[in-house]
Structure 1
Amino acid sequence: MRFVESKALWMLGGCGMVRWSWFIAVFMAAVVILPVGCRKKKKHTGGGGGGSQGTGVTYYVSTVGDDTNTGLSPSEAFRTIAHALSVAQDGDTIIVADGTYYEHDLDFQGKKIHLKSANGPTNCIIDCQQQGRAFHFHSGETADSILEGFTIQNGKVSNDGGAILCENNSSPTISNCTFSGNNAVCGGAICCYQSSLTIQNCAFSSNSARNGAGGAVSCGFLSNGTITNCTFSGNSADDYGGAIECWDNSSLTITNCTFSGNSANDWGGAIFCDTSTLTAINCVFSGNSVDAGGAILCMESSLTMTNCTFTNNSGNYCGGAIHCEDSSSATLNNCILWGNSAGSGGDEIYIYDSGSSCTLNHCCVDNKGYGGYTGNITENNCIHQDPLFVNPASGDLHLQSNSPCIDAGNNSYVPSGVTEDLDGNPRIVNGTVDIGAYEKQ
């Protein structure tokens, strides 16, 4: 069954992009104005107080403060985050007291400010009340523009980035935040264009992309992103990428993350990758669902997965765990793919076209679950036995003591600098790495 009638991406209204090669051609002939918006749908049928403070002034914000105060002490706190951001300069820190702040469309204005809660995201909430997004980074912010320790909820916009929009080479650091109930066309919580975003120690739940892609995060148009130590649960997209969409010559590296119960109507229950590069290390994909590519669907993309676990993901049509098409290449190292399902073939992996391929190195995989161009699936030193999870029904995907995955991986595939598993325990025990996201201790 063919899922794509046309690979063209069009500029329409406020929600469109063109293929990069077409864009270059048009740009050389005339000036092109790019609207904020995702590409048009392809035809288918810990506590916030943890970070270091700047070397400059520290300002305080409180629900009982007043913007006519100096902001220089808790007793002289400002009332709004917006006012504190307007006053602060490079190197300054803003500490926000516990409470709920009903604000939206906040702007760092390109400044290197560390904005953080006093006591973490459970105690400090930014509620946008569906009146806009929480933050717009658009002035070349760098990694020294830090947002830390907030719950950001109920953001809603008519275009992209329900809670946060990053564009114009803006690359802030977002740390220890919770994103819940945010909604946009693309990037229900966060959308990133031509920027390099760092997201760490965050939780994304129940965010949604309506008539678009990337229920939680959309990373596109020549963007680079790193996502580390995050959880994605119950996010949804009307089109592609229930949790994440990576598109248009972008690159995304995901480490130590879990994806559970995310869904999309069309492709990529957890992640949709289009003409981009995706790398994932020490990640778990479980219970994600979609038409094709229960966990991941990649088009014209390069996918590298190391020490990841895929189980209980489902595709209504093909590719219960992974679906590759349009000359995509997937490389899986030390990964587990077991217990996934698809209605029309490829419970574990589906290769749609002759130009796509998948190579599995030292993986534990149910090789009866291959579909499509199975001759383009290559195995090197793989095992085909039940991985023996501790309790998969309850979501415990650690390995039992007699699991065939213990000491069955290949150390050479573990990236340099990776010394821990998904739990934060030592990654290699007894000299040889285990297969999957968790190392038996």
Structure 2
Amino acid sequence: MKSRLLFLVFLVAFLATNVAFGETFNVTNLEEFQDALTIAESNGEDDIINVAEGTYNINITSPLNYSTNDGDSGHTLTIQGAGVDKTILEGGRLRIDTDEDWNGGDRGADVTIEGMTFKNRRGYIHGTHINVKIKECTFSTGGGIEVRLDSGTITVTNNIFSGNSSVWGGGITTYLRSEGTITITNNIFSGNSAKDYTNPLNGYGGGVLAHLWLGTITITNNIFSGNSADHGGGVSVYLTSGTLTITNNTFSGNLASQDGGGVWARSYYDSATLNIYNNIFFDNTANAGDDLHIGCDCNGNHIGSIINLYNNNFSGNADFDTGQSEDLFINETDNYSHGGNIQENPLFVDAENGDFHLQSTSPCIDTGTNDAPYLPDTDKDGKPRIIDGNGDDIATVDMGPYEFGDICEGDFDGDSDVDGSDLATFAADFGRTDCSGDCEGDFDNDGDVDGSDLAVFAADFGRTDCPVCE
């Protein structure tokens, strides 16, 4: 009996040790990194690879590789660095392939990459039906990254893509050949290019190329500046059927040698819907459609897709009634509707140096529409998305990714001042260490209400000019 008990204790310890190893890897060099990827291919676990701070110089001929077909189906792979400025992969490729031969291999094998910098090479993720998340990374002076799936979801959040180049999707290519969802939110795309030097008309999407057969593409709270391509200097989208929504972005100084300096969009079937709301298009150039170029009759039946163009700011040469002009070109307008669009200098704080916040006199303040589809709750800085920025006591969303206005963190009751009633609310929370989203005074979201939160509240206390929020 005693020997049997000892055996069971040993067995439990052995299994626990192996599960822990299979789930989490802490790597500090390229050899350990590749070993972790190789084990994760077939260990049947939800794997996390923590990549320590440092610069990892990857050999161009020996990329980091995760490649499987059926061996790890349904499990997750998370690769996370120590921070975008701390973990740097340079020179070679990180290649993740969960379905080598497109035969439906590792379905549901979700992939997450976060908290690291990729330099001087293009990353690659390929799979069948998986969910891919790329968040809080930087891709610079290389080829960005390509995500190519049969179906699933692609979510790209809080990244920076700068100085990358490729034939398609200089910053990122997001490709779903059947159905799914593509979401691109809170990113910066600057100085990327898409160019095919063997075919000068074949470069699509300087910042982003998004391709989807059926489903939804949502692009919100992003900045696209100084990108270039043959088609779609900032963004190039191809949608067969489904919904494209572009809400609260800024497109500035992008260039297309052919069409769509800011955005180039194509929809195949007239059942597709294109929603363009609350964006700033300014100083983009192209041969046709400097700011926006939409082709919505690719099936040739002379019936256009549904196009909703509301509360955007264009560069100055857009005819919103006809939809066919220098800055705005839509080839089929029978299902096109518009309203609330303007054409003025948006008055950025310092566009030349990448600051696309709005000056206090910007015409884009409080001129968006609160009814925009997929309107985010917060702006790119994390501030409330709908506030009264012009002092008329009406909370209206701004155009572009940044909301204008100095928010009062301590105005809990929303009465435009921070006074005794707000102090009582804060005092009721002060000292708590068990916050899980229910402490109003936990301004830094670290799970407690302490001295750092008190400093934030004290800075606002006594203010009587807090903007109205919806």
TM-score of the two chains, using structure 1 as the length reference: 0.68
1:114 aligns with 2:57: no
1:230-241 paired onto structure 2 within 5 Å: 230-239=159-168
1:250-269 matches, cutoff 5 A: 250-265=180-195, 266-269=203-206
Q: Which residue of 2 aligns with 1:190?
A: 125
> Percent identical across equivalent pairs?
31
2:146 equivalent to 1:217: yes
1:247-302: per-residue Cα shift (whole Å, max 9, x none)? 31242111111111121122222222334432111111111111111122223343
Letter matched to residue 276 of structure 2:
L
SS for the counterpart of 1:148 is: strand
Alignment-derived partner of residue 436 in structure 2 = none
Residue number in structure 2 paired with 1:65: none
TM-superposed CA distance for 1:206, in Å, is 2.9
Q: RMSD of the alignment, in Å?
A: 2.9
Q: Does the residue aligned with 1:413 lie in a helix, a strand or coil?
A: coil
State yes or no: 1:349 paired with 2:292: yes
Q: Which has the larger radius of gyration?
A: 2
* Residue 386 to residue 374, structure 1, CA distance change in 2 (3 Å): farther
Match runs of 1:32-431 below 5 Å: 89=20, 92-97=23-28, 101=31, 104=34, 106-107=37-38, 108=40, 109=42, 110-118=44-52, 120=53, 123=54, 125=56, 127-136=58-67, 138=69, 139-143=72-76, 145-149=77-81, 150-156=87-93, 162-167=94-99, 168-169=106-107, 170-183=109-122, 188-208=123-143, 215-239=144-168, 242-249=171-178, 250-265=180-195, 266-276=203-213, 277-301=216-240, 302-325=243-266, 326-327=268-269, 329-343=273-287, 345-352=288-295, 353=297, 354=302, 355-356=304-305, 358-366=307-315, 367=318, 368-373=326-331, 375=333, 377-413=336-372, 415=374, 418-430=376-388, 431=395
Q: Relative to 1, partners in 2 of residues 1:141 and 1:180: Cα closer, same or farther, differing over 3 Å? A: farther
1:436 to 376, 392, 400: 400
Distance 1:241 1:147, change over 3 A: same
Q: Secondary structure at the match of 1:427?
A: coil
CA-to-partner distance for each residue in 1:58-91, whole Å, 9 max, x for gaps?
Answer: xxxxxxxxxxxxxxxxxxxxxxxxxxxx965477
SS in 1 for 2:206: coil
Partners of 2:78 and 2:113 within 8 A in 1: yes
Aligned equivalents of 1:312, 1:263: Cα separation in 2:
13
In 2, distance between residues paired with 1:375 and 1:240? 28
Counterpart of 1:73 in structure 2 is none
Q: Which residue of 1 aligns with 2:410?
A: none
Q: CA deviation at 1:124?
A: 5.5
Could you list the runs of 5+ residues in structure 2 that have no partner in the other structure? 1-16, 82-86, 100-105, 196-202, 319-325, 389-394, 406-470
TM-superposed CA distance for 1:385, in Å, is 1.3
Equivalent residue letter for 1:360: L
Q: Equivalents in 2 of 1:282, 1:220: separation in Å?
A: 24
1:133-176 C-alpha deviation (Å, 9 max, x unpaired): 34346522544x321104333334xxxxx533344221122221
Shift of 1:126: 6.5
TM-score (norm 2): 0.64
Q: Structure 1 residues 287, 88: closer, same or farther in 2, change over 3 A?
A: farther
Counterpart amino acid of 2:47? I
- Alignment CA distance shift 1:124-1:193 (3 Å): farther
Q: Is the deviation greater in 164-173 or in 385-394?
A: 164-173
* Structure 1 stretches lacking a partner, 5+ long: 1-85, 157-161, 209-214
Deviations 1:192-222 (A, max 9, x none): 44311122111122333xxxxxx51223311
Note if contact 1:155-1:163 (Cα within 8 Å) is conserved in structure 2.
no
